[in-house]
Amino acid sequence: MSQIQRTVLIIDDSPEDRQLYRRYLLQDRDYHYTIWEAQLGQEGLELWQRYQPDVVLLDYRLPDLDGLELLAQIPIQMPHPCLPVIMITGQGNEAIAVQAMKAGAQDYLLKEQITPDSLHLALNRTIETVRLRTQLQQRLERERLVAQITQQIYQSLELDEILQTTVTEVRQFLKTDRVLIFRLQSEGWGQVTKESVRTDCIPLLSTSLHDPCLNEHYIESFRQGLITVKPDIYDSSIDPCHVELLAQLQVRANLVVPILQDKQLWGMLIVHHCTAPRQWQSLEIDLLKELATHVGIALQQAELYQQAQSELVERRRAELALRENQVQLQQQLAEIEAIYQSAPIGLNVLDTDLRFVRINQRLAEINGLSVADHIGRTVRELLPELADTAEPFLRAILETGEPQLNVEIQGETPAQPGVQRTWLEHFLPLKNGDRTIGISTVCEEITDRKLAEEALRESQERYQCLAELIPQLVWTASAEGMLLDVNQRWSDYTGLTLAQAQICGWEAVIHPDDLPVLSQQWAVTVETGTPYQAEGRMRRADGVYRWHLHQAIPQRNERNQIIWFGTATDIEAQKQLEIERDHLLEREKAARTEAERASRLKDEFLAILSHELRSPLNPILGWTKLLQTRKFDAAKTAEALSTIERNAKLQTQLIDDLLDVARILRGKLTLNAAPMNLVFMIESAIETVQTAAVAKSISLHPVLPNIGQVSGDSVRLQQIVWNLLSNAIKFTPNGGQVMIELEQINDMAQIKVTDTGKGISSDFLPHIFESFRQEDASITRQHGGLGLGLAIVYNLVEAHGGTISAASPGLGQGATFTVRLPLLKVEPQSDRPHDSLNGELDLTGIRVVLVDDDPDTRELLAFILKEYGAEAMVVASAGEVLTLLESFKPDILVTDIGMPDMDGYTLLRQVRSLPPERGGQVPAIATTAYARMEDRQQALTAGFQKHIAKPIDPSKLVAAISDLLSQR
């Protein structure tokens, strides 16, 4: 047989006494004692609070506290209804015993009288007394608690207050940690609706909890009244899943009592003890069962109360609604009567004899009689002229019981005698069951409407006639863009009927490019209500689009709808004029731009021309002045003369270029074409530039196979090649290379000049052959020139039926110029031409008359002729020549053209008028500053055999004289 457990606390400062008591207790075989000892009163209080002993053996006299003082502190420390204390003292004193019993001790023992039996007897008696007193106290407290809650249930209908009082009072009564009411939901879920909890425990109020063990079996058990009593959740008596949930809620012992409402499980009244295991007493369990029953009653009572309240509220709401409906009905009846009497249409009621039973003011006014005059009288009695028309409709309603609606009646009434008026009538039967007991009539006068409809019809006819007569395309549309009507001209133009246009929409005949603009403008116009205007192309029936001006304005129709009336006017001719005008403006703008560019180029050219013409004059005038004022040795004199000659030739070349450009611009460029070999011409050009190339250490690499002949002017062709070679040498740095390649490409001769010079930028390359264009026209440019050379070359190549092109990879990468000329279909000639002049020219014995109004020129030419052995007669005017011819008998006449008094042409005509023996056939050479091709042609036509342009090259003059003399 297992022993009953008892815990004893011994508080005594005597070790011998404590040992004695321990020995006596352990002699008791019916109980198993757990004994705790304390020497001091304060230590005993702490052990008492910690272990809650069943019995305390308390020595009256302690070093720190006496027994009475210790008992006085116990109610503060331990809230027990009675104390399981046996007071022990060494002195027998009844006063001390009385004080101890009053302080709460259950028994009193003298130390010298204590025996094992007496101690056992005192312990049993004390424990039983405490148990009985505790039970009594608990029963009283339970009865009080049950009575309090029961009274509250029957005196209060506030369910929340009842439930909260229940959990609060139960926790206080049981001295536990948490009491809650758990409202069961479904599938193991529920919510804590009320809770009383110690402050250091987790609050669960309003928390939704899920118990996986709460299946249908458990629910049914709870429904049958199952009470779950668990002193310790870890005693293996409950499912692990439930243990886990309770552990999360800090629960160590729990007590669960079901709450039933109408035999259905509503929820649970749950008690949690969190600090330690707890043995639940039957008294406690019975209390919770009873309280759960009362809570169920409270729930049912609250539900009934709620139902009663709901029914009461609903009844009050129904009564209020009834009163409101009655008031509303009275208002509606009053409103109906007011509307009936003030309605703008006529209303009346007739009986089966067609007598007026009821009539409103408006119908009385229409009939021209008062309301009182109508009551009790028939339609025929009041309105005999209308009765014949109205009575057939009225009789038919009385017979059939069917209404007659939208009946138009015309006639006269006393209100307006002699005036035909029109009314729109609705006759409605009044029935009592299936029997017709009267007729209700609704009468609206539509005289004005009929007149307006007639006027509208006439207006529409006029509009339709106008729409068909005007030359525009006419249409009407809704605000959404739906076509409502079009005139015949619109249909003829588009090839669509109105029905087809309504299906495909007006967008189908608008050019796709114009549709976005027209649609956007239409949307803006509709939104703002402003007139619509836009231009767009419309497709004609043959597929051709023509420009039209689209215009529309909004109007409201009789139904207050916005209708858009629009036209489309053909403006194709106007648009074409606008396009032409725009083109003219663009051309004018381009011409203005070109003129401005030309003006700018002219200004740049004049600046360059001034620079290029003045630059050679500087060394010429400078060296001339030095030669006149100083003495130089032969080497320096030769250098000076060479410089003067080079710059004079440069200036001559500039003037020749200007003259060539002038000829090209006027279309006066002429060629003396003849078959020629390009190899000889290119070699001559190379010889001309060889000195310049050597000066810059530039290597010339000609590749000149004999490919045949071309037809051309040898001078001009050599000018082309010389110009290309000069440019290549000019723009190639020292030590560079220039390639000259001649080859046959099909039936064309190709001359390609390639250099390793500065190259041409991609921006300037398209303008390389334009007149007066230079890639660098700034005052800091590194290379001179007028920018005419390549323009002249381009035109000379075209004049020979050829082509020229330029290419360059970019700046610093050289350039290539390619000339192509058509080849003649003849065998190539390999023989070089023979020089016409062999050896040094000699004019010894030749008599020359030299005429020039400029003394410097006369002196220079006379010196040249004398140096070559000629005998020269120099005169300053043309008039002097005529007196010398017969006496001097010259072999050659060399004369200037532009002279005062008599020019060279007049002089030659007078000379040619003389007989041969007087010098009339003397060969004549014109020397002039007029160096154009036209000037040369004019001189030859006038009778001169040669034309030499100033400045005059002495060798050319002597060669020309020799050539003329050799032809005699």
pLDDT tens digit sequence for 485-531: 888 888 889 899 888 888 888 888 999 999 999 889 988 988 888 89
Q: Tell whether the torsion through CA atoms of 848, 854, 859 and 865 is positive or negative.
A: negative
CB atoms within 10 A of CB 385: 11
Q: Tell whether the torsion through CA atoms of 729, 733, 734 and 737 is positive or negative.
A: negative
Are residues 73 and 66 in contact, defined by beta-carbon separation less than 8 angstroms?
A: no
The C-alpha atoms of residue 650 and residue 612 are separated, in whole angstroms, by 9
**pLDDT at residue number 11:** 92
| pLDDT average, residue stretch 727-734 | 90
Q: What single-letter amino acid sits at 134? A: T
The closest of 328, 325, 368, 317 to 346, measured between CA atoms, is 368
In this structure, the strands spanning 699-703 and 709-712 are: unpaired
pTM for the model: 0.33
The C-alpha atoms of residue 399 and residue 842 are separated, in whole angstroms, by 153
The closest of 690, 818, 657 to 742, measured between CA atoms, is 818
Rg (CA), the chain: 70
Give tens-digit pLDDT for 621-672: 777 877 888 788 888 888 788 778 767 776 676 676 666 666 665 565 667 7
Q: Which long-range contacts (CB under 8 A, 24 or more apart) does 517-520 make?
A: 518/550
Mean pLDDT of the chain: 83
- Reading the block at residue 497, the tokens are 């009927």
Give tens-digit pLDDT for 204-260: 998 888 887 777 777 788 888 888 888 998 887 788 878 888 888 889 999 999 998
The C-alpha atoms of residue 618 and residue 626 are separated, in whole angstroms, by 12
- Residue 701: Cβ-neighbour burial (10 angstroms; 0-12, 13-18, 19+): exposed
User: What angle separates helix 116-155 from helix 282-342, to the nearest 10 degrees?
Assistant: 10
The C-alpha atoms of residue 395 and residue 27 are separated, in whole angstroms, by 128
User: What angle separates helix 714-730 from helix 678-695, to the nearest 10 degrees?
Assistant: 30
Q: What percent of the chain has pLDDT over 70?
A: 89
**pLDDT at residue number 755:** 94
Q: What is the DSSP string of 565-619?
A: EEEEEE-HHHHHHHHHHHHHHHHHHHHHHHHHHHHHHHHHHHHHHHHHHHHHHHH
Give tens-digit pLDDT for 907-964: 889 988 888 888 888 999 998 877 776 788 888 888 898 888 887 888 888 888 988 8
Q: What single-letter amino acid sits at 37? A: E
Helix and strand totals (H; E) in the chain: 27, 33
- Residue 719: Cβ-neighbour burial (10 angstroms; 0-12, 13-18, 19+): buried
- CA distances 661 to 666, 715, 777, 791, 792, Å, are 9, 16, 19, 8, 6
The closest of 349, 880, 940, 934 to 667, measured between CA atoms, is 934
Those residues whose C-beta lies under 8 Å from the C-beta of residue 136, and which sit 6 or more positions away, are none
The C-alpha atoms of residue 288 and residue 701 are separated, in whole angstroms, by 128
Give tens-digit pLDDT for 764-801: 888 888 866 665 544 334 444 555 778 888 888 888 88
The C-alpha atoms of residue 948 and residue 957 are separated, in whole angstroms, by 7
**pLDDT at residue number 611:** 53
**pLDDT at residue number 196:** 93
| pLDDT average, residue stretch 25-33 | 88
The C-alpha atoms of residue 946 and residue 953 are separated, in whole angstroms, by 14
Left if phi > 0, otherwise alpha if psi is -120 to 50, otherwise beta: which for 575? alpha
**pLDDT at residue number 742:** 93
The C-alpha atoms of residue 314 and residue 931 are separated, in whole angstroms, by 128
Q: Quick one: pLDDT band at residue 837, thresholds 50, 70, 90?
A: very low
Q: What percent of the chain has pLDDT over 90?
A: 17
Which secondary structure element, helix H or strand E, spans residue 207, and what is its range?
none
The C-alpha atoms of residue 683 and residue 687 are separated, in whole angstroms, by 6
CB atoms within 10 A of CB 715: 10
**pLDDT at residue number 840:** 61
Q: Kindly report the CA angle at 408 between 402 and 409, in degrees rounded to 5? A: 105
- Reading the block at residue 119, the tokens are 């101690």
| pLDDT average, residue stretch 871-875 | 89
Q: Tell whether the torsion through CA atoms of 181, 185, 190 and 193 is positive or negative.
A: negative
The backbone torsions φ and ψ at residue 468, rounded to the nearest 5 degrees and listed phi first, read -80, -20
Q: What is the DSSP string of 460-489?
A: HHHHHHHHHHSSSEEEEEETT--EEEE-HH
Give the residue with greater pLDDT, 145 vs 478.
478
- CA distances 400 to 92, 392, 393, 403, 435, Å, are 127, 12, 11, 9, 10
User: In the chain, what are the domains?
Assistant: 4-139 (3.40.50.2300), 158-308 (3.30.450.40), 343-452 (3.30.450.20), 467-570 (3.30.450.20), 669-822 (3.30.565.10), 847-967 (3.40.50.2300)
- CA distances 334 to 327, 338, 933, Å, are 11, 6, 120
State in Å, rounded, how far the first CA of the chain is from the last one: 179
**pLDDT at residue number 835:** 42
Give the residue with greater pLDDT, 957 vs 340.
957
Give tens-digit pLDDT for 165-196: 888 888 887 889 999 999 988 877 889 999 99
Which secondary structure element, helix H or strand E, spans residue 325, and what is its range?
helix 282-342
3-state secondary structure of 934: helix
Q: In whole angstroms, what separates CA 17 from the centre of its chain? A: 100
Are residues 515 and 522 in contact, defined by beta-carbon separation less than 8 angstroms?
A: no
Are residues 880 and 902 in contact, defined by beta-carbon separation less than 8 angstroms?
A: no
